[in-house]
Structure 1
Amino acid sequence: MTCRETDQGVSVLPFGASSEGLLQRGDHALFGVSTGNSYFSRRRLADGMAWAVERFAVVDVVHADVALEAMLEALGYERGAARRSVAKQLRGVRRRIDGALEDLGTAAERVRARPLSDFLDQPGYRDVRARTRTALRTDLELRSVRDAMAYQFLAKRLQPGGLPAPAQVQAALAYVDAELPFFVDTPRILGAASSVHCYHTVLPLGRLLFGGRRTGLRPADNQGYAIVACRD
């Protein structure tokens, strides 16, 4: 697979055996936006969406908002302070997403932007989430990678050399677990014919699931992954 760069400075690299074909089909693209990640500037979001609306019939932007309060409380924030801090973070994320949509102009009509929490009670998401929960009980490699991602998320928030407390670990696991279904079967969740999960790097779960593994949990045949990186 070849990395290519658009005139707008967006580099695109399909990752996984079926991802190139799904990218060419252009049914649906999902952009996951991590709260608190400085990569997601207004300009990068706008450039990524502009590339996507030219190639895909539908584009979804989902920003993480699950388990953030629990995480801050586990890190020592009082409940009120945790709520205020999360609200501030989410306002910042939504402001950048809204600004990027404004920059798109009329093309923004084909972009849906929602928090991850909007999906928790939807049948498609619950179905895929049940599958990932079952897999995490039996798929040791999957669980190991999931745990490592959760610890990496925590490590940025702990004192150097500090070990996480059980409540902190549980909150970090809940954060990663909520995102896992979108790596596995976004078409089932959103009712798309196929979907490509777009992120600016290969996350460990993406590397495992789209790296050609023969056993354990694998993505749906119509689920792809692409590294979509934008200059700022």
Structure 2
Amino acid sequence: MSAAAIAVEAVPFGSRSAAILGQGDHALFGISTGNSYFSRRRLAHAISWAVERFAEVDVIHADLHVEGMYQALGYEHADARRSATKQLRGVRRRIQGALEDVGHAAERVRSRPLSAFVEEPAYQEVRMRTRDALRVDMELRAARDGMAYQFLSKRLTPGASPTAAQMQTALDYVNAELPFFVDSPSILGVDSSVHCYHSVLALGRLLFGGREAGLRPNDNQGYAVVVACRD
């Protein structure tokens, strides 16, 4: 699959992101069970674009707290495990299919679950940084809470308010992903990295929006809106 033959638009977000995008060191794609945008076709196009422009590419799928979310939504333990397993299997199948469609170039792409990093010292160090920041950075906490609420609102019946248990599970889900917004180069062992997503998430808007105080991404961490073809 040739990136030249498909429509992929990448728009850097943040003052340093254009330069980091131009360096072409590393691109990161995060895929979650609730993200339907990156279908197999779109993901294949986005990866094809990335492997022609970056020295390294990572695709990381969020597999933490999925079962807990189903339990918080009222599923019995066995049903929650079954549903989480099904959802994660679908995400892995979508990623694997996209890599197969990319062809030989996909050999340079690393595909891993988020759970593979939780015991890694580099991830733990950045996770500690974000955890400490969330205690005192009210803007950061509000953006994090907003993302967690949005994540939940898609799964609750219209007009329903999340319970404390549901909200905590959603917060755990977002907390686990936050380090990759801040310092994925340290976690993934690359010189610089662009976090690629199809929209500007609330955390991305805050962290890369030029704030002068509070938690900010490392100087070698960028963000870009990457829009592939429509299915």
TM-score of the two chains, using structure 1 as the length reference: 0.96
Residue 159 of structure 2, aligned match among 161, 175, 178: 161
User: What does residue 39 of structure 2 align with?
Assistant: 41
The code of the aligned residue for 1:145 comes to: A
The code of the aligned residue for 1:139 comes to: D
CA distance in 2, matches of 1:198, 1:6: 19
- Poorly superposed stretches of 4+, deviation over 4 Å: none
User: What does residue 60 of structure 2 align with?
Assistant: 62
How many Å apart are 1:37 and its aligned residue? 2.0
Residue 142 of structure 2, aligned match among 137, 141, 144: 144
User: What does residue 230 of structure 1 align with?
Assistant: 228
> What does the per-residue CA deviation read over 1:34-76, in whole Å, with 9 as the maximum and x for residues that have no partner?
2132212111010000000000000000011111111110110
User: What does residue 197 of structure 2 align with?
Assistant: 199
The code of the aligned residue for 1:181 comes to: P
User: What does residue 22 of structure 2 align with?
Assistant: 24
Tell me the SS of whatever aligns to 2:210. coil
Tell me the SS of whatever aligns to 2:60. strand
How many Å apart are 1:197 and its aligned residue? 0.2
Tell me the SS of whatever aligns to 1:30. strand
CA distance in 2, matches of 1:88, 1:39: 18
Residue 185 of structure 1, aligned match among 183, 186, 191: 183
Tell me the SS of whatever aligns to 2:203. helix
RMSD: 1.1
User: What does residue 174 of structure 1 align with?
Assistant: 172
Tell me the SS of whatever aligns to 2:200. coil
Tell me the SS of whatever aligns to 1:225. strand
How many Å apart are 1:99 and its aligned residue? 0.6
User: What does residue 217 of structure 2 align with?
Assistant: 219
> What does the per-residue CA deviation read over 1:192-229, in whole Å, with 9 as the maximum and x for residues that have no partner?
00000000000000000000000000000000000001
CA distance in 2, matches of 1:114, 1:194: 19
The code of the aligned residue for 2:128 comes to: A
Tell me the SS of whatever aligns to 1:224. strand
The code of the aligned residue for 1:157 comes to: R
User: What does residue 127 of structure 1 align with?
Assistant: 125
CA distance in 2, matches of 1:159, 1:6: 43
> What does the per-residue CA deviation read over 1:97-123, in whole Å, with 9 as the maximum and x for residues that have no partner?
001111111101110001111111111
Tell me the SS of whatever aligns to 2:178. helix
User: What does residue 87 of structure 2 align with?
Assistant: 89
CA distance in 1, matches of 2:34, 2:136: 32
**Matched residue pairs, number?**
228
Which structure 2 segments of 5+ residues have no match? none
How many Å apart are 1:6 and its aligned residue? 6.0
